[in-house]
A = this chain, B = another copy of it.
Amino acid sequence: MTVELKPVQALALWQNVVLETVRRDGPDLSSRQLAILLTVYLTPPPHTVRGLASSLKVSKPAITRALDTLGQLDLLKRKRDDADRRNVLVQRTVKGSVFLRDFGDLVVDTAGRLDA
Contact = CB atoms under 8 A, between A and B. Distances in A.
Interface of A: 1-8, 10-15, 18-19, 21-23, 28-32, 34-35, 38-39, 41-42, 55-58, 100-101, 103-105, 107-108, 111
Copies of this chain: 2
A38 B11 contact: yes
A40 B97 CA distance: 33
A24 B116 CA distance: 34
B11 A107 contact: yes
A58 B108 contact: no
A29 B30 CA distance: 9
Nearest to A100: B11
A38 B2 CA distance: 23
